[in-house]
Structure 1
Amino acid sequence: MDPNFLKHLNDLTCGDKNLRQQAIDLQNQQLEQNPAGYLLNLANALVCDSVPENLKQLAGIVIKNAITGPNEETKRHHQQMWLKIPAQQRAEIKKVLFNGLGTTNNSGRKGATFAVSSIAIAELSVDEWLDLIPTLAGGIKQNNPVVQEGALQTIALICEDIDPIPSNLENQSGEILNCIALCAKSELPIEVRRASIAAMYGALGIVGSNFEKKAERDYIMQIICNACKEQDVQIQGQALRCLVKTAELYYEFLDDTYMQAIWTITSEIMLTDSEAAPFTVEFWSTIAETERDALEEADFEDSSCSNFAAKILSSLVPRLCANLLKQVDSTDDEDEWNIAAASAACIVVLAECTQDAIIPIILPFVQLINNDNWRQREASTMAFGSILTGDSDSEEVVNMVTQVIGILIQHLGNDSNDCVRSTSAWAISKVASAYPAIIQRDTNAVVTALVAGLSNPDPVIAYYSCFALLEILTCIYPGRQEESTNELSSIFLPLFNELMKAVTRDDADMSKLRITAYETINRLFENAPLDCLKQMNEFIQPFLSQLESSFNLNVDEDDQRQMQAYIPLVLQTITKRIGNDIAAQAKPMYDTLTKVFTTRKVIVDEALTAIATLFEACPQLVKTVFSSFTPYFLAALQNFQDVSILKSALFCLGSLCDALEEDLFKFDNGTLCDNIINTLRSHLQNPVVDQEMRPLIISSFGDIAMAIGGYFNKYFSDFYSVFCAASDITIPPNE
């Protein structure tokens, strides 16, 4: 192996940033100028015995990345590059890689599966390499475990990643299933059986025609169910994932016989400590989601919805509740996905699907909410919050919520366990969302408890307390901002002060506390009554100071991005509420908001939208800053790749039109208007521009015409045909 090429591969992962960048530049240059030669070198490195293991796998990954991509546009470009290589050279590369599927070196074989599958996806999608699956099947039938593993892993990757699925692959689903069945036999090595069930997971997306035939469907389900009974946790977990995918894709083919067999398997695994246990819960969540969506959308006739969730409810819910007691021991691990978290999520979907039917089954567990054992208190609280869908106004549910809300407030304030306290705050947020009228019976008591929780040293408790406050402001106070005063008036200032303390906590970046605190401040300002407006005006300078502090080079990058996104949103809301009263602080606000662009060297849509709102409230500001603002505005207007920035720019354009009127044209004798018009016209003609933006762009022409009046004659004839064409477009149903 050429030592220079080995050095190049090594440099691609080198710790030295300059060497690594040079290697990446060389890679890109070679892929552009000599793709066949470079990819062949990579393929040879992958199968060469003298190449270190880490570089073998890297070679396969580089080939994969060269032929696929992180998004559709890049993937299409890379695949076209591959397909332009002459067929003979492609065949040479594929031959080397195919040999890699049978190498005993695990890293080399894994790299080969990545490479071969990416090439297969590119070629099968255009009806090439049609003998690939038969060739892989032929290798599998040779009974060489190494070849079987490599071939099955390749099939798994192809089936899982190819989209859309070409008919040539669907037509070979029977061959693929035969390979999977052959390698699922218990006497084969564990690695082969793992690869077999992984291939089944991938293949489920292409076996629709097989599922329509009962005998073939039975055979597929038998393979999956047998694998679920394996002692190997990898096989068992992948088999259970197959069940989940089956529920997603083939619900209509599942009958009582299948479901009874699946219940027998999943109910046993569900209560074990197996790493695969959460997948058993996920299967029933998927069934419940499918039936919930069917009931909501009325896609099925009553006779077509099997109501499996309702049938299994009395057996499933007690097991889920038992699993809630396996929660994490600390709020530090509250984001961990485990059997308790999966069970809570399943209860939520079951409640949405079966509504009141779940209440009498789960109520005895909820009633243990004051148990001496903290695990039981937390699990009962979790169960309670999980069934609050807001769909039921039955007396039983309302009485339950009324009785529990006081306990939640008590637990939030006084419980000795932080997990109980954080879950109690979360459950209060669920009550606020589902049954706000119950919160309104004593809003001040609930808010007082949550404000105390907001200052808790534990950031998770603080976050859930903050989130519950956000839900209360969202569900109880919308539409009341024109009231002269209400119960928010007395708590407005103390609540704001506590939220600001939360924003500046050292641990505010944990559990989304800072983001949620800013969102809650914003909602507080949106919904506060009129007697709070004067205080809002006084808050502008503290927020501008906070935004200024984000420009410090020592500020963490994530913290900086959060502050530069959320503070402009808050300033925008204040501007909307106080209108032209903001005039005295309009220029300092503008200067600070544009500083976001100069320090980040990109347009930030939240800051741009805040400026647009400022222009609306204070049109006299526009003429004084227009020259300095134009470059930022045009940069945003030309950025069609980022929908949020383009949308903000169009909003800003409307504000400029309202403020400047004919001066928008007179400012530079139409040069700026020419630029704006040409940019908008280009966007309309560009098929890559998001379709949702087109109506906004067309409306912007109307804004410009209204603003500049007769000067629009210059542009009218060019756009008359465009607007006529737009009016003739037939909008498809449901769009």
Structure 2
Amino acid sequence: ILNMAMEITQILLAAQSPDAQIRTAAEESLKQFQEQNLPHFLLALSVELSNEQKPPASRRLAGIILKNSLDAKDSIRKEELTQRWVSVDPAIKFQIKESLLRTLGSPVAEARHTSSQVTAKVASIEIPRREWQELIAKLLTYMTQQDTTSSLKQATLEALGYVCEEVSPQDLQQDQVNAVLTAVVQGMNQKEHSSEVRLAAVKALYNALDFAQTNFENELERAFIIKVVCETAVSKESEIRQAAFECLVSIASTYYEILEPFMPSLFNLTSNAVRGDEEPVALQAIEFWSTVCDEEIAIQEEYGGADEGSSSLHHRFIEKALPSLVPMLLETLLKQEEDQDQDDSMWNLSMAGGTCLGLVARTVGDAVVPLVMPFVQENIMKADWHNREAATFAFGSILEVIIQKLSNSDSKALILQSADQMMILFLRVFACRSSSVHEEAMLAIGALAYATGSDFAKYMPEFYRYLEMGLQNFEEYQGFKNTKAELLMPYAGNLLKFTEAVFRDKNRDEGVTRAAVAVMGDLADALGPTTKALFKESHFYSDFLEESFQSDDDQLRETATWAQGMIRRVFLS
């Protein structure tokens, strides 16, 4: 064992050898050492990590193995490792912990970083057991000592952040939380510290926010914390700005109820970031508003939208910010990237803005419609594809709200006033093969059909060509018919009138006929017994099916047979 401890540097280096035989032998030696004497194995690794004379490669692997000896993703394995650490001789544990704290001052950045992670892993085991209670105080002394280097402060703040990430709020005393918050807020001071220290401080604050419940209940303390975060959000380093906005997102989620006095400043801050900052920062600024939407939607759902029940909790930040917030989000829609529709994993400003706009629509309902429609009309005819896609994306974002609100709101009148222009414009977008939002365009046409009812027949000659194109692309047609059943129901009658308009037009071609017959079957299939009365009142459908059975088109006859089966099932239910 002693030899292994003395030779651990060579074994760790050999374990990274490109020669498989050497690597396998070294891995076996490490495993043997670990199994024969775990306490000394862990001690040897901590000594290796802390030794400035050792090669970076051996120190790095020592740190990784040490960390993996304390934690695992699998909960059963994690508990097993915890119990092993608990059973180690306290004297050896003390040496390991001292070694870790010493490494926080290493001039080698990777060693400091690994040590801060391992320190937090040990803390996650010991602090809940009321052990290593002096850790927080010890770390805080590193922040206050006159001769502390920037690198030690940075590693200390990183360790504090990881400790807060690893342990639960109930595991720290309030005086410890106060001290941590004081240290990280001081660490964010632009005048005193390097950018590395300030970045570590902001990241540590992010992890410490869950612990700050008592502090956020105090008006002066929360005002001070938010003021410092806002100041940090305009730092000259983009990475620090991004981390500060991440803190604001977390504050919006955790402490929504205290935000009101800060919202004017936060709007200006986020608006400037969205319009003028680098994309990673701007994305977090949009995420702030998406998070506020999430909170307000949750309040509305909990109280069933009742004003009297939610008034004290629901501050209506989105509603108040609407006239400024919506234009800001619409601007982001114009910033699509080439081939964005080809990459599902891509997340950029236009996608974040569109997602947020959809959440805004869910939060405030049809109040968003008059703010979005002028943008749609202005951009959908532009030559630049960015504008056309932004227009359809904007309409798609508010589509569900429009469908839900059309039957009883002013937005119906707004849409009916411009139905002619809207239909022409959306058909143009749908005809554009470069568009990534064909499904939204098809749904938009469906929404107009719902809104205009039987008047939609006048659009059919132009719509025929695109409906046939939609049939050729099955996914787009599915987008048109797979509207949620509960949203379809109020407009089922209009959809039947829509198909009747097709039936009455004797100049239609087979592709359009197939589509209209399929719509009847889709309605019966999606809505079931609730459509019985509609089909009873709509006498044309049996003539339409009969006509289809006489066709020479095998596909039409097959569609008609399926639709007839769906409708019969409705009457038998």
TM-score under structure 1 normalisation?
Answer: 0.60
The aligned counterpart of 1:233 is: 238
- Is the Cα–Cα contact under 8 Å of residues 299 and 313 in structure 2 kept in the other structure? no
The aligned counterpart of 1:344 is: 354
Amino acid at match of 2:432: N
The answer as to 2:285 corresponding to 1:267 is: no
Match of 1:301 among 306, 310, 315: 310
Match of 1:124 among 122, 127, 131: 127
Q: 1:364 to 1:434 in 2, by over 3 A?
A: closer
Mapping of 1:119-268 within 5 angstroms? Answer: 119-142=122-145, 143-162=148-167, 164-187=168-191, 188-255=193-260, 257-268=261-272
Q: 1:45 to 1:467 in 2, by over 3 A?
A: farther
**Secondary structure of the structure 1 residue equivalent to 2:347:** coil
Amino acid at match of 2:390: A
Amino acid at match of 1:316: L
Deviation at 1:433, TM superposition (A): 9.5
Mapping of 1:388-467 within 5 angstroms? Answer: 388-390=399-401, 391-393=404-406, 394=409, 395-396=412-413, 399=416, 404=422, 407-415=425-433, 418=434, 421-428=435-442, 448-453=468-473, 465=476
Deviation at 1:193, TM superposition (A): 0.8
Using the alignment, how far apart are the partners of 2:239 and 2:79 within structure 1? 34
Deviation at 1:311, TM superposition (A): 0.4
Deviation at 1:88, TM superposition (A): 1.5
Using the alignment, how far apart are the partners of 1:173 and 1:242 within structure 2? 17
**Secondary structure of the structure 1 residue equivalent to 2:255:** helix
Superposed CA offset, 1:425-452 (max 9, x none): 3443577699879899789876633343
Q: 1:135 to 1:361 in 2, by over 3 A?
A: same
Q: 1:25 to 1:222 in 2, by over 3 A?
A: farther
Q: 1:384 to 1:52 in 2, by over 3 A?
A: farther
Using the alignment, how far apart are the partners of 2:28 and 2:365 within structure 1? 58
Q: 1:376 to 1:141 in 2, by over 3 A?
A: same
**Percent of paired sites with the same residue:** 26
Deviation at 1:171, TM superposition (A): 4.4
**Secondary structure of the structure 1 residue equivalent to 2:405:** coil
Amino acid at match of 1:471: N
Q: 1:401 to 1:2 in 2, by over 3 A?
A: farther
- Is the Cα–Cα contact under 8 Å of residues 47 and 100 in structure 1 kept in the other structure? yes
Amino acid at match of 2:107: T
Q: 1:132 to 1:494 in 2, by over 3 A?
A: farther
- Is the Cα–Cα contact under 8 Å of residues 233 and 240 in structure 2 kept in the other structure? yes
Using the alignment, how far apart are the partners of 1:317 and 1:348 within structure 2? 10
- Is the Cα–Cα contact under 8 Å of residues 412 and 424 in structure 1 kept in the other structure? yes
Match of 1:356 among 366, 382, 386: 366
The answer as to 2:330 corresponding to 1:326 is: no
Deviation at 1:174, TM superposition (A): 0.5
Using the alignment, how far apart are the partners of 2:24 and 2:467 within structure 1? 54
Mapping of 1:643-654 within 5 angstroms? Answer: none
Q: 1:4 to 1:252 in 2, by over 3 A?
A: same
Superposed CA offset, 1:584-608 (max 9, x none): xxxxxxxxxxxxxxxxxxxxxxxxx
Superposed CA offset, 1:545-573 (max 9, x none): xxxxxxxxxxxxxxxxxxxxxxxxxxxxx
- Is the Cα–Cα contact under 8 Å of residues 13 and 57 in structure 2 kept in the other structure? no
Q: 1:472 to 1:209 in 2, by over 3 A?
A: closer
Mapping of 1:707-718 within 5 angstroms? Answer: none
Using the alignment, how far apart are the partners of 1:439 and 1:85 within structure 2? 77
Deviation at 1:41, TM superposition (A): 2.1
Amino acid at match of 2:472: A
- Is the Cα–Cα contact under 8 Å of residues 313 and 358 in structure 1 kept in the other structure? yes
Deviation at 1:94, TM superposition (A): 0.9
Q: What count of residue pairs does the alignment treat as equivalent? A: 487
Deviation at 1:66, TM superposition (A): 2.1
Match of 1:314 among 315, 323, 343: 323
The aligned counterpart of 1:671 is: none
- Is the Cα–Cα contact under 8 Å of residues 289 and 356 in structure 2 kept in the other structure? yes
- Is the Cα–Cα contact under 8 Å of residues 432 and 472 in structure 1 kept in the other structure? no
The aligned counterpart of 1:62 is: 65
Mapping of 1:66-145 within 5 angstroms? Answer: 66-142=69-145, 143-145=148-150
- Is the Cα–Cα contact under 8 Å of residues 382 and 423 in structure 1 kept in the other structure? yes
Deviation at 1:232, TM superposition (A): 0.6
- Is the Cα–Cα contact under 8 Å of residues 114 and 157 in structure 1 kept in the other structure? yes
- Is the Cα–Cα contact under 8 Å of residues 177 and 212 in structure 2 kept in the other structure? yes
- Is the Cα–Cα contact under 8 Å of residues 430 and 438 in structure 2 kept in the other structure? yes
Q: 1:403 to 1:57 in 2, by over 3 A?
A: farther
Deviation at 1:80, TM superposition (A): 2.1
Q: 1:405 to 1:220 in 2, by over 3 A?
A: same
- Is the Cα–Cα contact under 8 Å of residues 66 and 118 in structure 2 kept in the other structure? yes
Using the alignment, how far apart are the partners of 1:234 and 1:204 within structure 2? 19
TM-score under structure 2 normalisation?
Answer: 0.75
- Is the Cα–Cα contact under 8 Å of residues 270 and 277 in structure 1 kept in the other structure? yes
Q: CA RMSD in A?
A: 3.7
List alignment gaps of at least 5 residues for structure 1. 455-463, 498-523, 533-735
- Is the Cα–Cα contact under 8 Å of residues 180 and 199 in structure 1 kept in the other structure? yes
Q: 1:17 to 1:35 in 2, by over 3 A?
A: same
After TM superposition, the structure 1 stretch with the greater mean CA deviation from structure 2, 3-12 or 204-213, is 3-12
Using the alignment, how far apart are the partners of 1:184 and 1:327 within structure 2? 34
- Is the Cα–Cα contact under 8 Å of residues 104 and 115 in structure 2 kept in the other structure? yes
**Secondary structure of the structure 2 residue equivalent to 1:422:** coil
The aligned counterpart of 1:713 is: none
Deviation at 1:353, TM superposition (A): 0.2
**Secondary structure of the structure 1 residue equivalent to 2:436:** helix
Deviation at 1:135, TM superposition (A): 0.4
Deviation at 1:25, TM superposition (A): 6.2
After TM superposition, the structure 1 stretch with the greater mean CA deviation from structure 2, 1-10 or 202-211, is 1-10
The aligned counterpart of 2:513 is: none
Q: 1:11 to 1:381 in 2, by over 3 A?
A: farther
Using the alignment, how far apart are the partners of 2:13 and 2:447 within structure 1? 55
Greater relative contact order: 1 or 2 (C-alpha under 8 angstroms, separation 6 or more)? 2
- Is the Cα–Cα contact under 8 Å of residues 344 and 386 in structure 1 kept in the other structure? yes
Amino acid at match of 1:412: F
Q: 1:333 to 1:159 in 2, by over 3 A?
A: same
Deviation at 1:266, TM superposition (A): 1.3
Q: 1:222 to 1:447 in 2, by over 3 A?
A: same
Using the alignment, how far apart are the partners of 1:29 and 1:160 within structure 2? 33
Deviation at 1:71, TM superposition (A): 3.7
Deviation at 1:29, TM superposition (A): 5.5
Superposed CA offset, 1:485-534 (max 9, x none): 998999x9979x9xxxxxxxxxxxxxxxxxxxxxxxxxx9xx965769xx
The aligned counterpart of 1:655 is: none
Using the alignment, how far apart are the partners of 1:434 and 1:151 within structure 2? 60
Amino acid at match of 2:271: S
